[in-house]
Structure 1
C-alpha cells in the first residue's frame, strides 16, 4: 500500500467517524466513572473483580445467557456462561471478608437490544454490610447528586437531582397510578384484572399482569420531575431480597427510575440459605416450563454455603451505561459505548 493510501488513524477501519462524533459522550462517561469510583472509595468500598465466565450465570427466569466452553490443558471440557450479573460472586466476597465492595462489571444478556438495552454492557454493583435498604437509598441519592448536574432535561422530562428523591411503595404506586389495591390480589390474576378494569389475556398469570400494569400505568408516571425509588415489592417478586419483618407480604427491594428509565435494582439481602435455595428451585421450575429448550446449569452451591456467613447487607445493581446516558443527555445506549457494532 502506498503512503498516500495508508488509512488515517482516526478515519481508518470500520465506521471511524461514528466514534469521532460520539467522543464528547465517551469522555463524559469516563468522567462519570472516575467520579463514581472516587465516591465509593471515599465511603470505604473496595473495588473487586470477579470472573465473567462462570458455571452458574444467575437464576432470573427470563434472562438468556451467552454459552461458552472452557477446555483445560488435558482436554477436559466444561460448559460455562457469561454472567448476567456479578452478584453471586460478589456476595461470596462479602461473606468471606465483611467488606463493602463494588465493581464495574461487564455483563451479558442474550436476545436483548434497543435504545436502552445492549447485549453486553456495564453494571455497577456495590454491597454494603450493615446498611439498610433506606440507608442504601440515601447513598444512591448522594451518588447521583455527585456525578450528575443538579437539573437535567432528558427525554421530555425536567429532572431535579438536587432535592430529595421520591420514595414510593409499590402498594402506593398502584393505588395512585393504577387505581387499585395491589397486595390483596397477589397470586390471583382474575382479581387483579378485575381491580385494574382490564381483560386478562390468554394464559396471563398474576405476575404477567402485574408487570404489564407496572409498565403501562406506573412506570410512565414516575421519575419524571425527580428520581423515584419504587420500594417494598410484593413478596413473590423478592428475588434475592429478604421479606419485610414488619409486613411479610412485601420484600425489601427497590428499583430506581429517572426520566423514564429504570436505573437500578436493589435488595436488603436475603441471608437464609434454605429460603434462597427454595426460591432458586422455584425459579428453575418456572424457567423450564416457559423455556424448555434453554440450557440448564448447576446450582451455585458456593453462594448458598456463603450465605450462612453473610452479614446483614444491602446491595444494588445500577446500569452504568444508563447513568452515563443521563449525564450526556442522549437517549441511545449505543452513544455511550466505545464500540457498538
Structure 2
C-alpha cells in the first residue's frame, strides 16, 4: 500500500510533528538525566573495521581510500559498543552515547536501516544497576512526552510501575519447556532434546534447525508477545550460547549476565555484564561468524584493536536501548517512521 503523501509534504509533516517534538523533549530529558549522574556523553565513530560480530546482524559496507590510493574495507557500525568499551579501557568510568547506527536487511514497523541507539556503560558496577536505570528512563521519558501510559497497537504498560523480572528458564517453563535441561555446565547445548521439547509444545521443528534456531522460534512465537503487558518486563539470565558479549553468571555457568527490556510486547533494550576475556571473546566471535557464513554466506572481520583494548577494560556493565522505539511507545505511534524526523526514502515495505 502506498502512503498518501511523502513524509515531507506539509500536511503530513504537520500530523507527524507532535510526535517529533515529544522525541526532542525525551532526548533532552535523558541527556539531563545522565549528566546529573556523572555520565560523560561520548561520540562513537560510525566507520569501523568490524561492524559487529553477531551472526544475524547485517551491515552496510563501504571503503576508505588512503593517501597511497589503496582501497580498504570499512563498515558503518551496527552499534557503538566496540568504541564505547574501548573508551572504558582508556579510563572512562560512566559514559553515555546517542549514536546513529546502521543495520541492513531491516525495515518494518519496528525496524529502520538507520536509527538512534542510546547506550550507557558503568565501569565497576553490576548489571542489575542497569535494570534500575531502565525503570528511571521509562518514567522520565513518559513524563517528558506528557503521558501516563506506554502504548503500542492496542497493548499498554505503566511506565511508573515496578519492573517485573523474569528469567528465560521461567519464561520457557510457562510454555512447557525445561530450557536449562538442554544446556550443560560448559555452555554446550543438546539440540535433539530441545527439539523434542519444542515439538511437544506444538511448534514446528525442521531437520536443519539448530538449538539457537529453536530457541529463537519459541521466544518470538510464545514468549515475546506477552512481555511487558501492564508493566515493563526485564527478561534475564540468557543461556550463555545466546549472549556472545556477556560474562557467565557466577551463580550458574549455564546462563549469562544478559537481560532485555520489554514494554507492550516490544523489545526496547539489551544489556550485559560485559565479557572482558579477549580469548573467550575471540572464540565467541569466531562461532558467530561461522554461523553467519553458514546462513548468509558471508562473515565480518574481527576487530583486533578492540580485543587488545578488552584485555585492559575494567569490569563493567552496559546497555543499548532503541531510542526510536521508546519514543514510539511514549506517543502511541504504530510505525517507527512516524517518530523519525527524516526517514530513509523509498517508502515503507
**Bucket of the pairwise TM-score, normalised by the shorter protein:** over 0.9
1:329 maps to 332
Q: Is structure 2 residue 28 aligned with structure 1 residue 34?
A: yes
Give the match's secondary structure for 1:233. Answer: coil
2:249 to 244, 247, 251: 244
Q: Cα offset for 1:124?
A: 0.5
Aligned equivalent of 2:271: 266
Aligned equivalents of 1:163, 1:131: Cα separation in 2: 24
**Aligned residue in 1 for 2:320:** 317
Structure 1 residue 91 corresponds to structure 2 residue 88 = no
Residues 148-197 of structure 1 show CA distances to partners (whole Å, capped at 9, x for unaligned) of 14433432223112121000010011112x11211112322332232231
Match of 2:179 in 1: 182
Is the contact between residue 98 and residue 310 of structure 1 (CA under 8 Å) also seen in structure 2? no
Provide the C-alpha distance between the structure 1 equivalents of 2:250 and 2:8, rounded to a whole number of angstroms: 56
**What TM-score does the superposition give when structure 2 sets the normalisation length?**
0.90
Q: Out of 206-215 and 71-80, give the one that drifted further.
A: 71-80
- The answer on whether the counterparts of 2:116 and 2:324 sit within 8 Å (CA) in structure 1 is yes
Contact 2:150/2:331 (8 A) holds in 1:
no
Q: Is contact 2:276–2:313 with CA below 8 Å preserved after alignment?
A: yes
Using the TM superposition, give the Cα deviation of residue 72 of structure 1 relative to its aligned residue in structure 2, in angstroms.
Answer: 2.6
The reply to whether residue 168 of structure 1 matches residue 171 of structure 2 is no
Rg bigger for which structure? Answer: 1
Gaps in structure 2 of 5+ consecutive residues: 184-188
State how far apart, in whole Å, the 2-side matches of 1:50 and 1:134 are: 25
Q: Does the aligned pair in 1 maintain the 2:138–2:160 contact within 8 Å?
A: no
Given that 1:19 and 1:338 are in contact with CA atoms closer than 8 Å, whether structure 2 keeps it comes out as no
SS of equivalent residue, structure 1 residue 121: strand
Quickly say closer, same or farther: Cα 1:311–1:161, change in 2 above 3 A: same
User: Is this contact kept in 2: 1:269–1:315, CA < 8 A?
Assistant: yes
Q: Which residue is 1:7 aligned to?
A: none
Question: What's the Cα RMSD here?
Answer: 1.7
Q: How many residues align?
A: 328
Aligned match of 2:62? 68
**TM-score scaled by length of structure 1:** 0.92
C-alpha displacement of 1:46: 0.5
- Residue 42 and residue 282 in structure 1: after superposition, are their counterparts in 2 closer, same or farther (change >3 A)? same
- Segments of structure 1 that go 5 or more residues without pairing to the other structure are 1-10
Tell me what 1:291 maps to.
296
1:19 and 1:339 in contact (8 A); partners too: no
Q: Work out whether residues 190 and 200 of structure 1, in 8 Å CA contact, stay in contact via their aligned partners in 2.
A: no
Q: Deviations over 1:193-239 (max 9, x none)?
A: 32231342131111101110001111112211101000000111121
Residues 129-150 of structure 1 show CA distances to partners (whole Å, capped at 9, x for unaligned) of 1221211101111111111144
CA contact (8 A) 2:152 2:328 kept: no
How many Å separate the matches in 2 of 1:79 and 1:216? 38
Task: Say which of 189, 196, 202 aligns to 1:194.
Answer: 196
> What is the alpha-carbon distance in structure 2 between the residues aligned to residue 28 and residue 42 of structure 1?
21
Deviation of residue 71 (structure 1)? 1.5
- 1:313 deviates by 0.7
* 1:323 positional shift: 0.6
CA contact (8 A) 2:165 2:235 kept: yes
